[in-house]
Amino acid sequence: MVAAARDGDHDALAELYRIHVVMVISYFRACQVADAEDLTADTFLGMLRSLPRFSGTQDEFRSWLMTIAHRRLVDYLRRGANNQLFLSDQEPLDGRSAYHDHPLLLDKRLVVGLRNLSPAQREVVALRFVADLSLHETAAITGRPLTAVKSLQKRGVASLRRAVPDLRLEGRAPSTGISENLAAP
């Protein structure tokens, strides 16, 4: 599919977008970005511009796309953009976005828990559990040593568990085989 999209197949491009858009917008929202939809659009424009030079597997594509997303986030923060929360405790999600189905976005307890994390912890937790990237991919994308990523993840997850005591971690953690996904029951 990636090769077909690189060759200009519009159906393949649409499918890549469909598969990855929720992951990208969820990453920005988990990082508490107010302009998540704009940064998502900018990420996919960057992908379109660079796609002819990309070669790799579907998993490598996901990691590459999240690298683009991370760079957009860093640029956004450097510009001093308003880094306010994307969602208040009382604000309903209905009608807010076409991407509101993601479980991380629906549980307001997680929104509150993410608010208590440091920006670096939010970023690592979002890349690991929203984008489902490995520790190594997360370290490469953020430019942090692997040990720092592990530490940020451990502290971030511990803080989330304190904020949301009944948080259930299930799903896939690529680098460890441990079942983890920040979904509350």
What is the extent of the structural domain holding 45? Answer: 2-183
Q: Which two tokens stand for residue 135?
A: 């520790």
More confident residue, 7 or 103: 7
- Please say if the pLDDT value at position 171 is more than 70: no
Tens digit of each residue's pLDDT (9 = 90 or more) over 12-41: 999 999 999 999 998 998 888 888 899 999
The predicted structure's pLDDT at residue 43: 97
According to DSSP H, which parts of the chain are helical? 2-6, 10-30, 36-50, 58-78, 103-106, 108-115, 119-125, 135-142, 146-163
d(C-alpha 63, C-alpha 128), whole Å:
11
pLDDT tier, 167 (very low <50, low <70, confident <90, very high otherwise): low
Tens digit of each residue's pLDDT (9 = 90 or more) over 48-98: 999 999 988 888 999 999 999 999 999 888 887 554 444 433 333 333 444
Domain count, the chain: 1
The predicted structure's pLDDT at residue 71: 94
More confident residue, 138 or 110: 138
Phi, psi of 183, rounded to the nearest 5 degrees: -115, 130
The predicted structure's pLDDT at residue 62: 93
d(C-alpha 52, C-alpha 133), whole Å:
23
The predicted structure's pLDDT at residue 32: 83
d(C-alpha 57, C-alpha 55), whole Å:
7
